Structure 1
Amino acid sequence: MPAIPLPFVLALLLLILLLQNLQRSGFRPTASTVFIGGCTLLTAVVGLRWTIDMPALRMLQPVVASLLPPFAWLSFTGLARQPFRHAWHHAAGPVLVLILSATWTRWHPPLDLVLAGLFFGYGAALLRQAAAGTDRLVDARLSDAPTARRAVLFAGLVLVGSGCVDLAVAVDFDLFGGQHAASIVSLANMLTLPVIAYAIMVIGRSQPGHETGDDAAARSDFPADESNGNVPPQAITSPSTADDADGQQAADAAILDRVDRAMQERQLYRDPDLTLTRLARRIGIPARQISAAVNRIHGRNVSQVVNEYRIAEAMRLLRETDRPVTTVMFDCGFQTKSNFNREFARVAGMTPSDYRRSGS
């Protein structure tokens, strides 16, 4: 019985992951589905190169590889939801690689160095995004923001590692005439593509699937850029333009007062799909102002503060009702038990079950 090459097995697994992601998005194309599709195509191309080494496949492989860093960036940052004119420059790298790959037999340009630069550049950008904190992930559910941040961090590290692989290929061509290049690239793809595809899926799961009626109403009231939550503020002086420290403190207090009223009166924390973008639209304050005010006054990020409202409600329900812990978790806006237990332990210093047994 003939053996199926490993790249084709991996391509099949990635195809299954792609179909699952498409089903979750209602079979609407998203940056994450396009990215996983690119991983599937690249893996299949690698498999074909192992079996039939055609010139067209040698030219296609670096071009497909060059598409992965920008698509990873678009998937993790939400830029793909902007009009094309705001993201067209991300096509510059793949176009350059296409030109170099098509003309490689004529003058042998430093194709691997260009690929390494793409992977290093986008990997460093994702690492910077992760280092900026969860508030930069304005389209991730606030309950899932820490998980999404770890996925961004891991994806950045994987892209940087892929850049090191491309450098290794360049060195192999210089020292050994490229004898080991195919093996290096193939092994690297086998190790990194499934990992980064899974990280993309984690990000996809942390993003709300559909816009709610409240969001649509907020959008009509506060037209803004979806990706960063820039909503025209209502009667609140921007902290960045305050005349002095007292003015800035007053502006921050006004912002947090509006956040608190939205949480207490409208119980926005109960929305499991609440993101920083949605919060900004619903209270009419730019996401960056909310994040800065929360950080300056509380010394924490927005997801932590919102989750504290959720945990306070969970503690009340655990004390005053006999609802199961899982029901309490959903009632308070959490969707996963791991996030609920982590945040509950951070706030209360014990698990939800221990809290109920303690009778606090």
Structure 2
Amino acid sequence: MMPAIPLPFVIALLLTILLFRLIRQNEAALRPALVFTAACIVLVIIGGLRWTFDIRFIRFIQPIMASTLPVIAWFCFVGAPSSLRARHWLHLAPVVVITIFSATWSLWRPPIDLLLAGLYFGYGAALIRRASRGPDVLPSTRFSDASQALKATGIAGCTLIISAVSDVLIAGDFDVYQGAHAATIVAVVQLLLLPVIVYGVVAFGRSIPAGEGESISHAGESVSVPPEEVADNLVESVPQPAIEPLTPPEASSEPDQDDQQVIQRIDQIMRQHHLFRDPDLNLNRLARRAGIPSRQISGAINRVYGRNVSQVVNEYRIEEAKRLLQETDLPVTSIFLEAGFQTKSNFNREFQRVANMTPSDYRRSVASGE
């Protein structure tokens, strides 16, 4: 009879297969996902060794490795720091505290599980709060993938919070049942949650255009400025017809003169260079082309239009799509790609939001003169 393989090692094997697939793709935007997946593999293996062989050194290292996971997840969604500043080092503080507590556990039994629960809950709540603030806090993600990136961020936050609940359950199990069910709780949580959060990290990475420089966002503003992209230059070099102006905005708050100047600059580069046709366009690229900080663009558009940057850019794309539907016989599949969308579902959803009808209905209404 073949010996049974402990569940944690099966999970580690599956994550290792995923890691090698990510390595083979060799995409710079997926490097944070590589680091996070590798960290998950190490954590799962350590957990398997802890509950299978109960080695003293493994008991010491397991909580330390567990404390690094939410920190790595945070930087996967926020961005790797381009410079080591004081606020970046603060993320290492919980790891240092857990290390000290783990090293001195035999002396005074510090509540490590509860501390880990608080750490996971804090980072999970921070990711959920970040997702709730809208796509403008994700300046590196494509506008067309903003919704998916926000969902991935929210999923990761929820997963960390559920992990925090499991840490509380483990602490309670040790208090009441001397840890009799701890191994089962850990295995089930890892089986259910690790693939979900890894999926979220990978999905977020895929929303970042290839060649996008590393940057970190603070309050929605990009800190580093990579070189101009070739795709941007190609869009600018091809003569394009002018699009119709957007519908008159309704101010969400009192815009000032600086806001109007930002709006005029964004409108100018959209009309003259048709930047919205770049499918990889994101807030960072728009900020570089406009020569205006991303946070200033986001604030001005929100105050003047009452919408986020992604929605306004998509409105330029929809106006172009309406022009193509009216003046050409191109199929809808070709039109949404020409307008800068990457998926038909996103195109249909945004077209319905802006025009209150489907692309096909719009073409029929134009043809019938309605």
Measure how far apart 1:332 and its partner are: 1.9
Per the alignment, do residues 28 and 345 of structure 1 end up closer, same or farther by CA in structure 2, a change over 3 Å counting? closer
- Aligned counterpart for 1:304 among listed residues 308, 311, 323: 311
Measure how far apart 1:155 and its partner are: 1.2
Q: Provide the rounded CA distance (Å) in 1 between the counterparts of 2:326 and 2:22.
A: 39
Q: Provide the rounded CA distance (Å) in 1 between the counterparts of 2:123 and 2:148.
A: 20
Aligned residue type for 2:82: Q
Secondary structure at the counterpart of residue 64 of structure 1: helix
Q: Provide the rounded CA distance (Å) in 1 between the counterparts of 2:33 and 2:81.
A: 12
Q: Provide the rounded CA distance (Å) in 2 between the counterparts of 1:57 and 1:180.
A: 19
Q: Provide the rounded CA distance (Å) in 1 between the counterparts of 2:149 and 2:29.
A: 21
Q: Provide the rounded CA distance (Å) in 2 between the counterparts of 1:267 and 1:298.
A: 20
1:97 matched residue in structure 2: 98
1:84 matched residue in structure 2: 84
2:237 matched residue in structure 1: none
Deviations 1:56-106, CA, capped at 9 Å, x for gaps = 33223222221110111101111x142233522212222222222233233
Counterparts of residues 24-35 of structure 1 (less than 5 Å): 24-26=25-27, 30-35=31-36
Note if contact 1:123-1:156 (Cα within 8 Å) is conserved in structure 2: yes
Measure how far apart 1:260 and its partner are: 0.6
2:233 matched residue in structure 1: none
2:22 matched residue in structure 1: 21
Note if contact 1:231-1:281 (Cα within 8 Å) is conserved in structure 2: no
The reply on whether 1:122 has 2:123 as its aligned counterpart is yes
Q: Provide the rounded CA distance (Å) in 2 between the counterparts of 1:55 and 1:338.
A: 53
Counterparts of residues 5-84 of structure 1 (less than 5 Å): 5-26=6-27, 30-78=31-79, 80-84=80-84
Per the alignment, do residues 19 and 87 of structure 1 end up closer, same or farther by CA in structure 2, a change over 3 Å counting? farther
Secondary structure at the counterpart of residue 36 of structure 1: helix
Kindly, what percent of the aligned residue pairs are identical? Answer: 53
Per the alignment, do residues 259 and 175 of structure 1 end up closer, same or farther by CA in structure 2, a change over 3 Å counting? same
Counterparts of residues 121-270 of structure 1 (less than 5 Å): 121-211=122-212, 227=217, 228-229=221-222, 248-270=255-277
1:285 matched residue in structure 2: 292
Measure how far apart 1:326 and its partner are: 2.7
Q: Name the TM-score, length of structure 2 as normaliser.
A: 0.83
Q: Provide the rounded CA distance (Å) in 1 between the counterparts of 2:224 and 2:64.
A: 38
Measure how far apart 1:148 and its partner are: 0.9
Q: Provide the rounded CA distance (Å) in 1 between the counterparts of 2:301 and 2:30.
A: 35
Deviations 1:247-276, CA, capped at 9 Å, x for gaps = x43221111111111111111111111111
Q: Provide the rounded CA distance (Å) in 2 between the counterparts of 1:254 and 1:165.
A: 51
Q: Name the TM-score, length of structure 1 as normaliser.
A: 0.85
Q: Provide the rounded CA distance (Å) in 2 between the counterparts of 1:272 and 1:250.
A: 31
Q: Provide the rounded CA distance (Å) in 2 between the counterparts of 1:209 and 1:225.
A: 14
Aligned residue type for 1:140: T
Report the count of equivalent residues: 335
Runs of 4+ in 1 over 6 A off after TM superposition: none
Secondary structure at the counterpart of residue 357 of structure 2: coil
Deviations 1:16-43, CA, capped at 9 Å, x for gaps = 3223333444478832221111112222
User: Which consecutive residues of structure 2, in runs of 5 or more, have no partner in the other structure?
Assistant: 226-252
Note if contact 2:30-2:202 (Cα within 8 Å) is conserved in structure 1: no
User: Which consecutive residues of structure 1, in runs of 5 or more, have no partner in the other structure?
Assistant: 216-223, 233-244
Note if contact 1:229-1:281 (Cα within 8 Å) is conserved in structure 2: no
